[in-house]
Amino acid sequence: MVATRLAAAALGKEQVMDKDRVIGSAKVVKGKAKVAVGKAIGDSKLEAEGQAEKVEGKVQNAVGGIKDTIRDA
């Protein structure tokens, strides 16, 4: 991936991530934090919310990746 970005930079093409990838990655991080806090304090509901948010973020990140692929094609 780094090589792809370097090649794009060399050709003058700017490689920008789709906003869904950024938001999805943020949701994954937030979900991981909720899971960790939920485990630490014994709150199974918070832990489950965190797991759900991680999955939602992964899906949104994947959608953004597909959009990037289509745009760059």
- Cα separation, 29 vs 2, whole angstroms: 22
Per-residue pLDDT reduced to its tens digit, 10-19: 555 566 778 9
Q: Give the whole-angstrom CA distance, residue 25 versus residue 8.
A: 23
What is the CA 12 to chain-centroid distance, rounded?
26
Question: pTM value?
Answer: 0.75
Structural contact between residues 25 and 57, judged by C-beta atoms closer than 8 angstroms: yes
**Residue 54's closest CA among 30, 73, 22?**
30
- Tell me the two tokens of residue 25: 């990655």
pLDDT tens digits, 14-64? 667 789 999 999 999 999 999 999 999 999 999 999 999 999 999 999 999
Reduce the DSSP state of residue 38 to 3 states and report it.
helix
